[in-house]
Amino acid sequence: MVNATTTSGPVLPPEVRAVYPWTGVRLPVDGGTMHVLDEGPRDAPVLLALHGNPTWSFYWRRLVAHAAGRFRVVVPDHIGCGLSDKPQGWGYRLADHVDNVLAVVDHLGLSDVTLVVHDWGGAIGMGAATKRPDLARRFVVTNTGAWRSLRIPPSIATCKIPVFGPLAVRGLNGFARIATVRATAKGLDPVAKAGLLAPYDSWAHRIATLRFVEDIPLHAAHPSYAELSRIDDSLHTQAGKPMMIAWGDDDFCFTPAFRAEWQRRFPDAVVHAWKDVGHYVMEDAPDRFLAAFDAFVARTGGPVG
Protein backbone atom coordinates (compact mmCIF):
# COMPACT_ATOMS: atom_id res chain seq x y z
CA MET A 1 0.00 0.00 0.00
CA VAL A 2 0.97 3.66 -0.24
CA ASN A 3 3.36 4.88 2.45
CA ALA A 4 4.19 8.32 1.02
CA THR A 5 2.61 11.16 -0.91
CA THR A 6 0.29 10.27 -3.77
CA THR A 7 0.11 12.71 -6.66
CA SER A 8 -1.91 12.81 -9.87
CA GLY A 9 -0.84 14.09 -13.26
CA PRO A 10 -1.16 17.64 -14.60
CA VAL A 11 -3.94 19.24 -16.60
CA LEU A 12 -3.41 18.37 -20.26
CA PRO A 13 -2.72 21.20 -22.72
CA PRO A 14 -5.56 22.09 -25.12
CA GLU A 15 -3.84 20.69 -28.21
CA VAL A 16 -3.49 17.32 -26.47
CA ARG A 17 -7.08 17.38 -25.23
CA ALA A 18 -8.19 17.96 -28.82
CA VAL A 19 -6.94 14.49 -29.82
CA TYR A 20 -7.60 12.91 -26.40
CA PRO A 21 -11.05 14.25 -25.46
CA TRP A 22 -12.14 11.54 -23.02
CA THR A 23 -12.55 12.13 -19.29
CA GLY A 24 -12.28 8.58 -18.03
CA VAL A 25 -13.21 7.22 -14.63
CA ARG A 26 -11.17 6.78 -11.46
CA LEU A 27 -11.12 3.37 -9.81
CA PRO A 28 -9.61 2.38 -6.46
CA VAL A 29 -6.70 -0.06 -6.76
CA ASP A 30 -3.62 -0.90 -4.74
CA GLY A 31 -1.51 2.25 -4.72
CA GLY A 32 -4.30 4.78 -5.05
CA THR A 33 -6.79 5.53 -7.81
CA MET A 34 -6.32 4.47 -11.40
CA HIS A 35 -7.50 6.59 -14.32
CA VAL A 36 -9.33 4.39 -16.83
CA LEU A 37 -10.89 5.24 -20.17
CA ASP A 38 -14.20 3.39 -20.56
CA GLU A 39 -15.73 4.25 -23.91
CA GLY A 40 -18.42 2.66 -26.05
CA PRO A 41 -21.64 0.75 -25.32
CA ARG A 42 -21.57 -1.06 -21.96
CA ASP A 43 -23.12 -4.16 -23.49
CA ALA A 44 -20.64 -4.34 -26.40
CA PRO A 45 -17.74 -6.81 -26.59
CA VAL A 46 -14.82 -5.63 -24.44
CA LEU A 47 -11.51 -4.39 -25.79
CA LEU A 48 -8.89 -3.93 -23.07
CA ALA A 49 -5.71 -2.12 -24.18
CA LEU A 50 -2.62 -1.91 -21.97
CA HIS A 51 0.24 0.54 -22.47
CA GLY A 52 3.88 0.29 -21.50
CA ASN A 53 6.71 2.56 -20.33
CA PRO A 54 7.01 5.54 -20.77
CA THR A 55 3.60 5.92 -22.41
CA TRP A 56 0.02 6.04 -21.09
CA SER A 57 -3.53 5.66 -22.43
CA PHE A 58 -2.84 8.54 -24.84
CA TYR A 59 -0.79 6.03 -26.86
CA TRP A 60 -4.02 4.14 -27.70
CA ARG A 61 -6.06 7.26 -28.58
CA ARG A 62 -6.55 6.27 -32.22
CA LEU A 63 -7.68 2.77 -31.25
CA VAL A 64 -10.20 4.23 -28.79
CA ALA A 65 -11.63 6.59 -31.41
CA HIS A 66 -11.68 3.83 -34.03
CA ALA A 67 -13.21 0.99 -32.02
CA ALA A 68 -15.52 2.57 -29.44
CA GLY A 69 -18.54 2.38 -31.74
CA ARG A 70 -18.56 -1.43 -31.69
CA PHE A 71 -16.49 -2.30 -28.59
CA ARG A 72 -16.53 -1.25 -25.00
CA VAL A 73 -12.98 0.08 -25.02
CA VAL A 74 -11.23 0.08 -21.64
CA VAL A 75 -7.75 1.61 -21.36
CA PRO A 76 -6.15 2.04 -17.92
CA ASP A 77 -3.21 4.21 -17.01
CA HIS A 78 -1.02 2.01 -14.83
CA ILE A 79 -0.42 3.43 -11.36
CA GLY A 80 2.32 6.03 -11.64
CA CYS A 81 1.50 6.69 -15.30
CA GLY A 82 -0.67 9.09 -17.25
CA LEU A 83 -3.50 10.55 -15.20
CA SER A 84 -3.45 7.86 -12.49
CA ASP A 85 -2.11 8.51 -8.99
CA LYS A 86 1.66 8.53 -8.69
CA PRO A 87 2.45 7.20 -5.20
CA GLN A 88 6.03 7.79 -4.13
CA GLY A 89 6.28 4.83 -1.75
CA TRP A 90 4.44 2.08 -3.65
CA GLY A 91 6.17 -1.11 -4.77
CA TYR A 92 5.78 -0.79 -8.57
CA ARG A 93 6.35 -4.51 -9.12
CA LEU A 94 5.05 -6.56 -12.03
CA ALA A 95 2.71 -8.56 -9.79
CA ASP A 96 1.25 -5.30 -8.41
CA HIS A 97 0.43 -4.06 -11.91
CA VAL A 98 -1.09 -7.42 -12.86
CA ASP A 99 -3.32 -7.37 -9.78
CA ASN A 100 -4.38 -3.78 -10.52
CA VAL A 101 -5.49 -4.72 -14.03
CA LEU A 102 -7.54 -7.54 -12.54
CA ALA A 103 -9.01 -5.07 -10.06
CA VAL A 104 -10.14 -2.93 -13.00
CA VAL A 105 -11.61 -6.04 -14.64
CA ASP A 106 -13.56 -6.79 -11.48
CA HIS A 107 -14.68 -3.18 -10.86
CA LEU A 108 -16.09 -2.92 -14.38
CA GLY A 109 -17.33 -6.51 -14.66
CA LEU A 110 -15.30 -7.26 -17.79
CA SER A 111 -15.22 -10.67 -19.49
CA ASP A 112 -14.62 -12.25 -22.90
CA VAL A 113 -11.95 -9.63 -23.52
CA THR A 114 -10.01 -8.75 -26.66
CA LEU A 115 -6.65 -7.95 -25.05
CA VAL A 116 -4.34 -5.51 -26.85
CA VAL A 117 -0.84 -5.07 -25.40
CA HIS A 118 2.31 -3.05 -26.02
CA ASP A 119 5.67 -2.91 -24.23
CA TRP A 120 5.20 -3.57 -20.46
CA GLY A 121 1.53 -4.11 -21.25
CA GLY A 122 2.54 -7.50 -22.63
CA ALA A 123 3.89 -8.90 -19.38
CA ILE A 124 1.14 -7.21 -17.36
CA GLY A 125 -1.64 -8.28 -19.71
CA MET A 126 -0.45 -11.85 -20.12
CA GLY A 127 0.03 -11.93 -16.36
CA ALA A 128 -3.64 -11.09 -15.94
CA ALA A 129 -4.73 -13.51 -18.68
CA THR A 130 -2.78 -16.42 -17.21
CA LYS A 131 -4.14 -15.71 -13.72
CA ARG A 132 -7.66 -15.70 -15.15
CA PRO A 133 -7.40 -18.23 -18.03
CA ASP A 134 -10.94 -17.51 -19.25
CA LEU A 135 -10.56 -13.72 -19.26
CA ALA A 136 -9.29 -13.18 -22.81
CA ARG A 137 -11.07 -14.18 -26.02
CA ARG A 138 -8.32 -13.05 -28.40
CA PHE A 139 -4.99 -11.20 -28.31
CA VAL A 140 -3.35 -8.40 -30.25
CA VAL A 141 0.35 -8.26 -29.43
CA THR A 142 2.66 -5.47 -30.54
CA ASN A 143 6.33 -4.92 -29.67
CA THR A 144 6.41 -6.53 -26.27
CA GLY A 145 7.52 -9.62 -24.36
CA ALA A 146 6.17 -11.78 -21.56
CA TRP A 147 8.95 -14.22 -20.67
CA ARG A 148 12.36 -14.43 -19.04
CA SER A 149 15.02 -12.79 -21.17
CA LEU A 150 18.49 -11.32 -20.84
CA ARG A 151 17.99 -9.08 -23.89
CA ILE A 152 18.18 -5.46 -22.78
CA PRO A 153 19.57 -2.52 -24.77
CA PRO A 154 22.64 -0.94 -23.10
CA SER A 155 20.91 2.46 -23.04
CA ILE A 156 18.09 1.00 -20.95
CA ALA A 157 20.43 -1.06 -18.77
CA THR A 158 22.30 2.11 -17.77
CA CYS A 159 19.07 3.52 -16.37
CA LYS A 160 19.12 0.72 -13.78
CA ILE A 161 22.41 2.02 -12.34
CA PRO A 162 21.96 3.54 -8.86
CA VAL A 163 22.28 7.35 -8.67
CA PHE A 164 22.71 7.70 -12.45
CA GLY A 165 19.32 6.14 -13.21
CA PRO A 166 17.28 8.44 -10.95
CA LEU A 167 19.15 11.52 -12.14
CA ALA A 168 18.73 10.65 -15.81
CA VAL A 169 15.17 9.33 -15.68
CA ARG A 170 13.53 11.39 -12.95
CA GLY A 171 15.77 14.44 -12.98
CA LEU A 172 16.17 15.00 -16.72
CA ASN A 173 13.19 12.96 -17.99
CA GLY A 174 15.76 11.28 -20.21
CA PHE A 175 13.91 8.00 -20.68
CA ALA A 176 10.66 9.54 -21.93
CA ARG A 177 12.36 12.27 -23.97
CA ILE A 178 14.73 9.89 -25.73
CA ALA A 179 11.81 7.55 -26.43
CA THR A 180 10.13 10.30 -28.46
CA VAL A 181 13.10 9.99 -30.83
CA ARG A 182 14.34 6.40 -30.61
CA ALA A 183 10.96 4.64 -30.31
CA THR A 184 9.68 5.99 -33.62
CA ALA A 185 11.05 5.33 -37.09
CA LYS A 186 9.25 8.28 -38.67
CA GLY A 187 9.31 10.93 -35.97
CA LEU A 188 6.48 12.34 -33.88
CA ASP A 189 4.36 15.33 -34.69
CA PRO A 190 4.44 18.06 -31.99
CA VAL A 191 1.04 17.14 -30.54
CA ALA A 192 1.95 13.47 -30.18
CA LYS A 193 5.23 14.37 -28.49
CA ALA A 194 3.50 16.81 -26.15
CA GLY A 195 0.84 14.23 -25.30
CA LEU A 196 3.28 11.45 -24.55
CA LEU A 197 5.37 13.71 -22.29
CA ALA A 198 2.58 15.72 -20.61
CA PRO A 199 2.02 13.56 -17.48
CA TYR A 200 5.76 13.29 -16.76
CA ASP A 201 6.54 16.90 -15.93
CA SER A 202 8.33 16.61 -12.58
CA TRP A 203 10.58 14.40 -10.48
CA ALA A 204 7.57 13.05 -8.57
CA HIS A 205 5.54 12.37 -11.70
CA ARG A 206 8.37 10.35 -13.28
CA ILE A 207 8.57 7.75 -10.55
CA ALA A 208 6.96 4.93 -12.57
CA THR A 209 9.19 5.64 -15.56
CA LEU A 210 12.17 4.76 -13.39
CA ARG A 211 10.50 1.97 -11.41
CA PHE A 212 9.49 0.11 -14.59
CA VAL A 213 13.13 0.10 -15.71
CA GLU A 214 14.32 -1.00 -12.28
CA ASP A 215 11.70 -3.77 -12.31
CA ILE A 216 13.12 -5.52 -15.40
CA PRO A 217 14.03 -8.90 -13.85
CA LEU A 218 17.30 -10.17 -15.31
CA HIS A 219 18.19 -12.71 -12.60
CA ALA A 220 16.46 -15.04 -10.16
CA ALA A 221 17.13 -12.83 -7.13
CA HIS A 222 15.12 -9.95 -8.57
CA PRO A 223 11.80 -9.35 -6.78
CA SER A 224 9.77 -9.67 -10.02
CA TYR A 225 11.57 -12.71 -11.40
CA ALA A 226 9.13 -15.17 -9.82
CA GLU A 227 6.09 -13.40 -11.32
CA LEU A 228 7.68 -13.19 -14.75
CA SER A 229 8.57 -16.89 -14.49
CA ARG A 230 4.97 -17.70 -13.62
CA ILE A 231 3.77 -15.81 -16.68
CA ASP A 232 6.43 -17.40 -18.90
CA ASP A 233 5.53 -20.89 -17.73
CA SER A 234 1.78 -20.24 -18.14
CA LEU A 235 1.68 -18.69 -21.61
CA HIS A 236 0.92 -22.08 -23.14
CA THR A 237 -2.52 -22.01 -21.47
CA GLN A 238 -3.54 -19.26 -23.92
CA ALA A 239 -2.08 -20.86 -27.04
CA GLY A 240 -5.38 -22.01 -28.55
CA LYS A 241 -6.85 -18.51 -28.74
CA PRO A 242 -6.69 -16.23 -31.79
CA MET A 243 -3.73 -13.87 -31.82
CA MET A 244 -2.56 -11.10 -34.10
CA ILE A 245 1.07 -10.01 -33.91
CA ALA A 246 1.60 -6.50 -35.27
CA TRP A 247 5.28 -5.63 -35.12
CA GLY A 248 7.50 -2.69 -35.87
CA ASP A 249 10.69 -4.44 -36.91
CA ASP A 250 12.73 -1.22 -36.66
CA ASP A 251 12.67 -1.44 -32.86
CA PHE A 252 15.90 -1.13 -30.88
CA CYS A 253 14.30 -2.67 -27.79
CA PHE A 254 11.75 -5.32 -28.76
CA THR A 255 13.61 -6.48 -31.83
CA PRO A 256 12.34 -8.99 -34.41
CA ALA A 257 13.80 -11.70 -32.15
CA PHE A 258 10.94 -11.03 -29.72
CA ARG A 259 8.44 -11.28 -32.57
CA ALA A 260 9.95 -14.62 -33.55
CA GLU A 261 9.51 -15.88 -29.98
CA TRP A 262 5.82 -14.91 -30.02
CA GLN A 263 5.50 -16.77 -33.32
CA ARG A 264 7.21 -19.83 -31.88
CA ARG A 265 4.86 -19.92 -28.91
CA PHE A 266 1.74 -19.04 -30.93
CA PRO A 267 2.37 -20.61 -34.35
CA ASP A 268 -1.18 -19.99 -35.58
CA ALA A 269 -0.98 -16.24 -34.99
CA VAL A 270 -1.68 -13.78 -37.80
CA VAL A 271 1.58 -11.86 -38.25
CA HIS A 272 2.24 -8.38 -39.63
CA ALA A 273 5.91 -7.34 -39.59
CA TRP A 274 6.68 -3.82 -40.81
CA LYS A 275 10.33 -3.01 -41.48
CA ASP A 276 9.74 0.75 -41.61
CA VAL A 277 7.98 0.93 -38.21
CA GLY A 278 9.59 1.37 -34.82
CA HIS A 279 8.61 0.61 -31.24
CA TYR A 280 5.74 3.09 -31.22
CA VAL A 281 3.64 1.23 -33.77
CA MET A 282 0.56 3.36 -33.07
CA GLU A 283 2.54 6.51 -33.90
CA ASP A 284 4.43 5.19 -36.93
CA ALA A 285 1.69 3.12 -38.60
CA PRO A 286 -1.74 3.70 -37.02
CA ASP A 287 -3.68 3.20 -40.27
CA ARG A 288 -1.94 -0.09 -41.03
CA PHE A 289 -2.49 -1.29 -37.49
CA LEU A 290 -6.17 -0.40 -37.45
CA ALA A 291 -6.81 -2.03 -40.85
CA ALA A 292 -5.06 -5.20 -39.68
CA PHE A 293 -7.01 -5.08 -36.42
CA ASP A 294 -10.34 -4.81 -38.24
CA ALA A 295 -9.51 -7.73 -40.54
CA PHE A 296 -8.36 -9.88 -37.61
CA VAL A 297 -11.46 -9.15 -35.53
CA ALA A 298 -13.76 -9.87 -38.47
CA ARG A 299 -11.95 -13.12 -39.20
CA THR A 300 -12.22 -14.27 -35.59
CA GLY A 301 -15.93 -13.55 -35.09
CA GLY A 302 -15.73 -10.10 -33.58
CA PRO A 303 -17.88 -7.02 -34.23
CA VAL A 304 -17.41 -5.48 -37.67
CA GLY A 305 -17.55 -1.71 -38.01
Q: What is the pLDDT of residue 293?
A: 98
Distance CA 241, CA 233 (A): 17
pLDDT in tens, the chain (305 residues): 333 345 555 789 999 999 999 999 999 999 999 999 999 999 999 999 999 999 999 999 999 999 999 999 999 999 999 999 999 999 999 999 999 999 999 999 999 999 999 999 999 999 999 999 999 999 999 999 999 999 899 989 999 999 999 999 999 999 999 999 999 999 999 999 999 999 999 999 999 999 999 999 999 999 999 999 999 999 999 999 999 999 999 999 999 999 999 999 999 999 999 999 999 999 999 999 999 999 999 999 988 76
CATH number of domain containing 162: 3.40.50.1820
Of 267, 266, 227, which is closest to residue 120 (Cα–Cα)?
Answer: 227
Ramachandran angles phi, psi of 151, nearest 5°: -75, 115
Distance CA 195, CA 210 (A): 19
Residue 7 belongs to some domain of the structure: no
Distance CA 68, CA 56 (A): 18
Residues counted in the chain: 305
Q: What is the pLDDT of residue 303?
A: 86
Q: Is the bond preceding residue 54 a cis peptide, omega within 30 degrees?
A: yes
Q: What is the pLDDT of residue 172?
A: 95
Q: What is the pLDDT of residue 2?
A: 34
Q: What is the pLDDT of residue 242?
A: 98
Long-range contacts at 1-6 (CB < 8 A, ≥ 24 apart):
1/30, 1/31, 1/90, 2/31, 2/32, 2/87, 2/89, 2/90, 3/89, 3/90, 4/87, 4/88, 4/89, 5/87, 5/88, 5/89, 5/204, 6/31, 6/32, 6/85, 6/86, 6/87, 6/88
How many domains are contained in the chain? 1
Largest CA distance in the chain: 51
Residue 304 belongs to some domain of the structure: no
DSSP state of 198: T
Q: Residue type for 3, please?
A: N
Distance CA 262, CA 98 (A): 20
Residue 219 belongs to some domain of the structure: yes
Residue 6 belongs to some domain of the structure: no
Residue 79 belongs to some domain of the structure: yes
Distance CA 54, CA 270 (A): 27
Residue 194 belongs to some domain of the structure: yes
Which residues have C-beta within 8 Å of that of residue 32, sequence separation ≥ 6? 2, 6, 79, 84, 85, 86, 87, 90
Q: What is the pLDDT of residue 11?
A: 82
The residue segments making up the domain with residue 256 are: 14-299
Report pTM.
0.96
Residue 98 belongs to some domain of the structure: yes
Q: What is the pLDDT of residue 294?
A: 98
Residue 4 belongs to some domain of the structure: no
Q: Where are the alpha helices (DSSP H) in 27-119?
A: 61-67, 94-108
